[in-house]
Chains A and B, each alone.
Chain A
Amino acid sequence: MNRFKSIFGYVTAVALFFFLMFSFIRSDILEKLIVATGIHPTEWYSGGKVITIKQCNGYVLEIHQPVFNTVYGDVTYGFVQLTFKGQPDLPDIIHQAVSIDNYDFTIETDVKTLTTKMVNPGKYAQKIVWTYTFSDKSLNVRVGLKNQKK
């Protein structure tokens, strides 16, 4: 028994060395396994997945899934992220009506000063959370929403 345990110990220790080598050389395989679990950065940072793409005059608008979800269920106040991609450049002023999942509102963004104002908040849009340009030159606006279901 002791001899068996001893051999098992050495074999495992050496096998672990090869596992380590494998995990460095083919880390892509193990990374794919991690991605396959479905874990992802929280939508409160990433803005959520794009659910609608609209071709507008001189730009493309990507509307992300409204975000209310947390670990302990949906919360009352969340946001929707809007991504504007120029073709090739964005117009100086964007006047945009948005209708998504029964959230209807209109915003106006000054692309030069990166300021957005709420033109028509509708029933559930709260306020403009922020406006930023990202490294891919897209303009992103977060609009605070009140959860219709709350």
Chain B
Amino acid sequence: MKTYKAVLVAVPMLFISALFVFHSKADSIETMTSNIIVYVLMNVFFFMMVLTGKTYKYRMIIFISAALLFPIGFIYHNIIARGSMLVSLSTIYECKVPFCHIVTPMLIIPAALAKTIPFPGTMTGSYASIASMLVLLFSAIIVIGRGWCAWGCFYGGWDECVSKFRKKPLYSLNNRFWKLLPYAVLVFVALMATYTLTPVYCQWLCPFKPVTEFKAVSTIQDIITAVVFFSMFIIFLIVLPLLTKKRAQCTCFCPLGPTIIAFLNRFNIFTVRIDTTKCINCGKCIKICPLNAIDEKSLITGKTLSQCAKCARCIDECPRKAIMYYIRGTKLGVHPNAARLIYLYSAWILMVAVLGGIISTSLSIIFKLLLHL
């Protein structure tokens, strides 16, 4: 795109992102500095995306930075709020545990049948309250479908980051076991949570526990769960992404993204399509897709699978420029840039509001800690 056009397209983002980055008064110079850094960075990246037509690398930098920085802000908040990264029983029974979107699959049945949520959180008015997180998740899914998993989720950057380390994969997740595993996890945690009225995934399985919070180790059961958490972290966030070059946790284990959100993604207005008239069947997109969302059939039908998180890696790397963002109902390839820009506006706003906020909070904590050393 020509520079003056790119400037015109990117200018509204300057105003919209300011609404989110500067929405509350900065309480310190460190907070103001980190807000400004995030604001400038997000707008420079957005402008570059518009100007160059490339999406993936700019998205990836923010996505990975937010995931790696998230634990700093989260743990710091917990230390300030309750004196420790560990969750004590009194915190649990006081219902003061921050809600996380991955709990959502476990609350569907209990909420539908008994209006109850198997999670020790607060409905409103607290850090990561249940209602606020549900609003965020539902709005994101309605607007960009599984785009949430590449533009909004503050965990996914961990396995995306580790998947970059090796040049070539040594192992493939493209078999029945790994494809069915997330559904098995979903059914297991949804039924067990309904039966026990506890967030089973958070209590027993979550690979992100070692970098967020978990129960103080005081019983044999606590020791076993701690071992499980660290094992899950090593398997799904380090070993498998390293061996497969895929986002292993997000593809094979998360009970939310590859199952429920992927299902809803089928009805989302935005999708990624392959122009079969341009495609030369080189198979590069199949190899590089971090979520296994393109298979041989996709190259014939032109449709990516419902697992697609619209991360744009295949779009950017297709040697024939045959893959593009697409708005359902429109004619493929007629205004591909319009579809891309409309999508990018929504996805980037989500990124600014959620991941930009996380980066800014964590940076300001780092600055404060450095200044007080």
Chain A residues with a Cβ under 8 A of chain B: 2, 5-6, 8-10, 12-14, 16-17, 19-21, 23-25, 27, 30-31, 34-35, 37-47, 69-72, 130, 132-135, 140, 142
Residue of A13, A14, A16, A142 most packed against chain B (CB within 10 A): A13
Complexed CA–CA distance, A12 and B331 (Å): 15
What number of A-B contacts does a CB cutoff of 8 Å give?
A: 140
Complexed CA–CA distance, A10 and B338 (Å): 9
Chain B residues with a Cβ under 8 A of chain A: 16, 19-20, 82, 89-90, 92-96, 107, 109-111, 113-124, 129-132, 134-136, 138-140, 142-143, 194-195, 197-198, 269-270, 327-331, 334, 338-339, 342-343, 345-346, 349-350, 353
Residue of B94, B109, B119, B269 most packed against chain A (CB within 10 A): B94
Q: With A6-B329, A10-B330 known to touch, is A17 a contact of B345 (CB < 8 Å)?
A: yes
Q: With A24-B353, A45-B93 known to touch, is A17 a contact of B132 (CB < 8 Å)?
A: no
CB pair A6–B114 under 8 Å, yes or no, is no
Q: With A31-B132, A40-B123 known to touch, is A45 a contact of B92 (CB < 8 Å)?
A: yes
Q: With A39-B111, A44-B197 known to touch, is A9 a contact of B116 (CB < 8 Å)?
A: no
CB pair A140–B117 under 8 Å, yes or no, is no
CB pair A16–B143 under 8 Å, yes or no, is yes
Residues of chain A contacted by B111 (CB below 8 angstroms):
37, 39
Show 10 residue pairs from A and B whose CB-CB distance is below 8 angstroms, ordered by the A residue. A12-B269, A19-B142, A20-B143, A23-B135, A41-B95, A42-B110, A42-B116, A71-B109, A71-B114, A142-B93
CB pair A35–B131 under 8 Å, yes or no, is yes
Q: With A17-B346, A134-B94 known to touch, is A38 a contact of B115 (CB < 8 Å)?
A: yes
Closest to A23 in B: B139
Closest to B116 in A: A42
CB pair A27–B132 under 8 Å, yes or no, is yes
Residues of chain B contacted by A23 (CB below 8 angstroms):
135-136, 139
Q: With A19-B143, A132-B89 known to touch, is A9 a contact of B327 (CB < 8 Å)?
A: yes
Q: With A16-B269, A39-B111, A40-B123 known to touch, is A71 a contact of B135 (CB < 8 Å)?
A: no
Residues of chain B contacted by A133 (CB below 8 angstroms):
90
Complexed CA–CA distance, A43 and B95 (Å): 10
**Of A6, A13, A132, the contact of B90 (CB 8 Å cutoff):** A132
Residues of chain A contacted by B342 (CB below 8 angstroms):
10, 13-14, 17
Closest to A29 in B: B135
Least distance between B273 CB and chain A CB atoms (Å): 13
Residues of chain A contacted by B107 (CB below 8 angstroms):
39
Least distance between B198 CB and chain A CB atoms (Å): 8
Residues of chain B contacted by A45 (CB below 8 angstroms):
92-93, 95, 119-120
Residues of chain A contacted by B117 (CB below 8 angstroms):
39-42
**Of A24, A70, A130, A132, the contact of B349 (CB 8 Å cutoff):** A24
Q: With A24-B20, A70-B197, A135-B96 known to touch, is A9 a contact of B139 (CB < 8 Å)?
A: no
CB pair B116–A40 under 8 Å, yes or no, is yes
CB pair A41–B119 under 8 Å, yes or no, is yes
Complexed CA–CA distance, A38 and B346 (Å): 30
Q: What 15 additional pairs, Cβ within 8 angstroms, besides A27-B136, A41-B116, A133-B90?
A: A6-B329, A9-B327, A10-B327, A16-B142, A20-B349, A30-B135, A34-B123, A39-B115, A39-B123, A40-B115, A46-B120, A71-B194, A132-B90, A132-B94, A142-B93
Complexed CA–CA distance, A44 and B120 (Å): 9
Residues of chain A contacted by B338 (CB below 8 angstroms):
10
Residues of chain B contacted by A71 (CB below 8 angstroms):
109-110, 113-114, 116, 194-195, 197
Residues of chain B contacted by A40 (CB below 8 angstroms):
115-117, 123
Residues of chain A contacted by B118 (CB below 8 angstroms):
42
Residues of chain B contacted by A135 (CB below 8 angstroms):
82, 94, 96
Residue of A5, A42, A130 most packed against chain B (CB within 10 A): A42
Residues of chain A contacted by B143 (CB below 8 angstroms):
16-17, 19-20
Residues of chain B contacted by A132 (CB below 8 angstroms):
89-90, 93-94
CB pair A9–B119 under 8 Å, yes or no, is no
Residues of chain B contacted by A5 (CB below 8 angstroms):
329-330
Least distance between B77 CB and chain A CB atoms (Å): 14
5 interchain residue pairs of minimum CB distance: A9-B329, A23-B139, A31-B131, A5-B329, A45-B120
Closest to A46 in B: B95
**Of B115, B124, B343, B350, the contact of A31 (CB 8 Å cutoff):** B124
Complexed CA–CA distance, A8 and B329 (Å): 7
Least distance between B17 CB and chain A CB atoms (Å): 11
Complexed CA–CA distance, A41 and B110 (Å): 10
Residues of chain A contacted by B94 (CB below 8 angstroms):
132, 134-135
Residues of chain B contacted by A31 (CB below 8 angstroms):
124, 129, 131-132, 135
Least distance between B213 CB and chain A CB atoms (Å): 16
Q: With A12-B269, A41-B122 known to touch, is A2 a contact of B331 (CB < 8 Å)?
A: yes
